Chains A and B, each alone.
Chain A
């Protein structure tokens, strides 16, 4: 069942690096992260890689495999042929720290720029009432494991470093949409979506949706509806508030 696979792994740091060749054993049922760990244990003890849960739940192990943004722990070796050379490189959009580890602090900055959940001031803990159908839309976006693969693949920042200041990226535009659709959020987020988070840069290529390991329909369910709401000319703040706040009747 075992065979020797050929790997090319990017080794280096901020100053530069190279693709290094390795030949390494692969066993049945293994994922790429298993192979990286085997490299650490046998041939490259100082190979840097980020990971945590090894179950696709934490979003730490993001990298690019044969050029595609993927989770190392959820990419099974059986998806490659035994002859195929497998190339593992760090996320391209973020600065390299070392080997497969990148500096993802961009994402944490963007997270901080999205105005927090703003519940009605007089609503007490224990009195929140929401219907399942009303929370489901936002729940889909809350499946996000913050792997930042969508942030990595989106061409707006992948190919244009200077857009980083004015564009939050699909993950955080989706966060704006999530709060906007939260049945009890009282903030109006439309203007900010456009002016602060750069919703206008997105030209709905759907690349983000394609790489999302949680299969969240980022473009269709978050970004497009948000765009529609932003351009809605008949926006009437009173109607909007009335639609949004659903209180316990008792």
Chain B
């Protein structure tokens, strides 16, 4: 359970997931922020206003999956590093996931990295598809990795073993 060990179970995550058919329409954000905390940078980060809070800043964010374009601009603005963008079926059996990465080294495009789940367990290896790290992101890189489609709901962090940008 999230409140006891910091690991969100898939049951707990259900209320933050898009309906299955949404994945057919392209990348979509998944906001793994399930607690009512006084925080809201995600709301103003979204250019299409897809993130809303019902009662204001202390509510949890609710994503309008139809409005979300999967652009990923909200990812680096979230101090909880709780926003991921998932794109299924980028190739047969492959999906991609984008996430914030604030550890050195920053990986390079096409580099193989270790894929970690919500408990920090290794679930495999994946290729880095994209690294976005402009000054506007203020040292939070957004890394997109390729993962086996059946693992896309498990992978939530990466470990860069060697090389990368210093």
| Chain A complexes with chain B | no
